[in-house]
């Protein structure tokens, strides 16, 4: 017997319509590429999105067309998210940190017809324009006064929207209509596209709101340092308006001092981003000896949050939530918020330990770990296997890429994350490593994340990474690469002594190398691939 309830299609624009009606005081504050600060409310944003939708229609955008964006976090980028999806087209966010080859590849693969660009990227467009799809047009996200001289015929964003009506007759779209497209950074092979739908996006927004209600509520002021150009800034453009939280968009300046200033001025309550960004902010907090006023929580994800980072935030009274996810998961998969019984019964140290795990699954995300034969392993905190996921916010395949789609899914339709993990009895996920970053030594695995986590706790270490280097007897052995904090170079003996408190002797790195900076991927993670290439002929001490 079927239920007798209405079936209304889930639709992205409904989020903003709701927000404009219900949270009229919710603000969007943006640091603009023009150099000033812009602020308006959700009702203002909704009107501008209506104008932009008219403009897109006039430009001939049809259902299913891909409209690319190449832009920082700001209100115009936010408007594009809603207007593009609202007219039934697909918002393809491009990561400006991708290599030129990858950018050309994805615009060709996606067949983008228009690209909306922030001022910063004019030189990039001028250099690459003739390699993009032949009919592509470019919109510059600024006003007439800031339009530069350029051989490219840029359309002016503000002129396009200026005289359009604010009301737009949003058509009802089937909820499975594609709405967003984001390519993985493709550290191996070509980038692969995750194609989000209205349904998956709205469900993800609801899921995030429920999971992270502590940080997302009416009156909260949220800083997405995570970019709109990659995995929808962890869904914040949707989940924040839904709750009436204000959004503070930082623009291009993401160094510790700029973030601190912005957070203090705008009374940011919660900030979301990858660990590398928080290293900068923590340095600034230490320098000034105070937090930005009102700052009470931080979400760290995208790569493993070092224990020392969690501890030092908590010492300043900032609640840390360590989250895990992937482009292919919209992206949130887990949240590390502790339950009241943890807070009441666990010692401070035990709480930090638990927060160093990647947290428990969000509602709607199923997790399983499997052995090499694909057999499910117990969630007992001991068994370690490859992590698979299933749910309404997870890709069922990659955009126009049959081969990668088949390789990613198992026979029961679960998606293989490429991560190796354990899950304990309470459901806490512990990511051991990316499968390709694990170090295989004499048939045993060494987790690079484990070692990095411990070494990061040393005061003379600013950042570090552990990679596998080939070894004639053991196949691979760990090499520790350290970016020193100041002039002092920590000795191997000191590092070993620190590590031996928590790991076995055979897991100790064979050698340490010091470098000035770690290579980063386009998504702000340490590029282990680049490091492995750099040290591929490294001779370990015998």
- The count of residues in the chain is 542
Q: How far is the CB of 168 from ligand ADP (least distance, A)?
A: 33
- The string over 327-342, giving b where at least 16 C-beta atoms fall within 10 Å of a residue's C-beta and e elsewhere, is bbbbbbbbbbbbeeee
Integer Cα distance of 440 and 436 in angstroms: 10
In the list 356, 358, 447, 507, the residue contacting ligand ADP (rule: CB under 6 A) is: 358
Q: Which two structure tokens, joined as six digits, stand for 331? A: 């992206």
| CB 501, CB 470: distance < 8 Å | no
Stretch that binds ligand ADP, among 20-28, 113-121, 417-425, 452-460 (CB under 6 A): 417-425
Q: How far is the CB of 241 from ligand ADP (least distance, A)?
A: 23
Binding mask of the shown chain, residues 20 to 59, with x at each position contacting ligand ADP by CB under 6 A: ----------------------------------------
- The string over 422-459, giving b where at least 16 C-beta atoms fall within 10 Å of a residue's C-beta and e elsewhere, is bbeeeebbbbbbbeebbbebeeebbbbbbbbbbbbebe
Cis peptide before 395 (omega within 30 of 0): no
Binding mask of the shown chain, residues 426 to 465, with x at each position contacting ligand ADP by CB under 6 A: -----x--x-------------------------------
Q: Does 417 bind ligand ADP (CB under 6 A)?
A: yes
Q: How far is the CB of 186 from ligand ADP (least distance, A)?
A: 7
* Interacting positions 309-338 with ligand ADP (CB under 6 A): 322, 324-327, 331
Integer Cα distance of 256 and 497 in angstroms: 32
Q: How far is the CB of 251 from ligand ADP (least distance, A)?
A: 21
Please say which residue, 434 or 458, places its beta carbon nearer to ligand ADP. 434
In the list 232, 441, 523, 527, the residue contacting ligand ADP (rule: CB under 6 A) is: 523
Please say which residue, 185 or 201, places its beta carbon nearer to ligand ADP. 185
Integer Cα distance of 439 and 449 in angstroms: 10
Spell out the alpha helix ranges (H) of 111-255: 122-128, 157-162, 198-211, 236-243
In the list 93, 243, 303, 330, the residue contacting ligand ADP (rule: CB under 6 A) is: 303
Please say which residue, 61 or 309, places its beta carbon nearer to ligand ADP. 309
Q: Does 277 bind ligand ADP (CB under 6 A)?
A: no
Q: Which two structure tokens, joined as six digits, stand for 48? A: 């501008």
Integer Cα distance of 528 and 121 in angstroms: 27
What is the longest distance spanned by two Cα atoms in the chain? 74
* C-beta nearest to ligand ADP: residue: 327
In the list 251, 301, 306, 509, the residue contacting ligand ADP (rule: CB under 6 A) is: 301
Please say which residue, 118 or 450, places its beta carbon nearer to ligand ADP. 450
Q: Does 229 bind ligand ADP (CB under 6 A)?
A: no
Q: Which two structure tokens, joined as six digits, stand for 171? A: 């058509």
Please tell me the count of residues contacting ligand ADP according to CB under 6 A: 22
Integer Cα distance of 26 and 354 in angstroms: 34
Provide the 3-class DSSP secondary structure of residue 114: strand
Q: What residues act catalytically?
A: 184, 328, 440, 445
Q: Which residues pair with 420 in a beta bridge?
A: 386, 433
Binding mask of the shown chain, residues 175 to 194, with x at each position contacting ligand ADP by CB under 6 A: ---------xx-x-------
Residues that bind ligand ADP (CB under 6 A): 184-185, 187, 301-304, 322, 324-327, 331, 358, 417-419, 431, 434, 521, 523, 525
């Amino acid at each position: 017997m079927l239920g007798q309830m209405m079936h209304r299609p889930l639709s992205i624009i409904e989020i903003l319509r709701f927000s404009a009606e219900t949270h009229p005081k919710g603000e969007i504050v943006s640091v603009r590429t023009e150099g000033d600060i812009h602020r308006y409310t959700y009702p203002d944003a909704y009107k501008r999105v209506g104008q932009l939708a008219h403009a897109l229609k006039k430009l001939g955008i049809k259902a299913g067309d891909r409209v690319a964006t190449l832009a920082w976090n700001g209100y115009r980028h936010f408007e594009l998210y809603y207007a593009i999806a609202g007219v039934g087209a697909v918002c393809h966010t491009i990561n400006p940190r991708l290599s030129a080859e990858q950018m050309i590849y994805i615009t060709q693969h996606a067949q983008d017809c228009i690209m909306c660009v922030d001022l910063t990227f004019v030189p990039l467009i001028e250099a690459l324009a003739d390699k993009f799809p032949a009919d592509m047009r470019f919109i510059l996200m600024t006003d007439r006064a800031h339009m530069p001289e350029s051989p490219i015929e840029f359309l002016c964003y503000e002129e396009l929207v200026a005289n359009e009506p604010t009301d737009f007759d949003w058509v009802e779209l089937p909820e499975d209509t594609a709405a967003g497209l984001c390519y993985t950074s493709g550290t191996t092979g070509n980038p692969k596209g995750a194609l989000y739908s209205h349904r998956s996006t709205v469900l993800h927004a609801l899921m995030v709101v429920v999971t992270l209600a502590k940080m997302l509520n009416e009156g909260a002021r949220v800083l997405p340092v995570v970019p709109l150009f990659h995995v929808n800034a962890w869904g914040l453009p949707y989940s924040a308006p839904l709750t009436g939280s204000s959004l503070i968009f930082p623009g291009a300046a993401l160094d510790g001092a700029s973030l601190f200033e912005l957070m203090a001025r705008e009374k940011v309550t919660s900030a979301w981003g990858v660990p590398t960004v928080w290293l900068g902010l923590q340095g600034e907090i230490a320098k000034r000896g105070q937090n930005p006023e009102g700052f009470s929580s931080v979400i760290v994800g995208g790569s493993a949050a070092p224990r020392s980072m969690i501890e030092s935030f908590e010492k300043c009274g900032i609640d840390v939530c360590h989250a895990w996810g992937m482009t292919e998961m919209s992206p949130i998969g887990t949240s590390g918020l502790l339950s009241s019984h943890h807070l009441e019964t666990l010692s401070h140290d035990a709480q930090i330990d638990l927060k160093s795990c990647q947290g428990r699954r969000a509602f709607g995300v199923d997790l399983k770990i499997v052995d090499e034969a694909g057999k499910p392993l117990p969630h007992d905190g001991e068994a370690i296997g490859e992590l698979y996921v299933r749910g309404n916010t997870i890709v069922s395949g990659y955009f126009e890429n049959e081969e990668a789609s088949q390789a990613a899914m198992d026979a029961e339709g679960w998606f293989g994350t490429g991560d190796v993990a354990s899950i304990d009895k309470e459901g806490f996920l512990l990511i051991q490593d990316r499968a390709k970053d694990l170090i295989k030594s004499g048939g045993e695995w060494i987790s690079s994340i484990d070692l990095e986590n411990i070494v990061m706790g040393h005061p003379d270490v600013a950042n570090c990474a552990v990679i596998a280097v080939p070894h004639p007897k053991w196949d691979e052995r760990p090499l520790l690469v350290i970016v020193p904090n100041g002039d002092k170079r920590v000795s191997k003996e000191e590092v070993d002594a620190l590590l031996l408190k928590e790991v076995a002797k055979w897991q100790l790195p064979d050698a340490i190398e010091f470098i000035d900076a770690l290579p980063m991927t386009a998504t702000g993670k340490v590029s282990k691939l680049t490091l492995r290439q750099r040290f591929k002929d490294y001779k370990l001490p015998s």
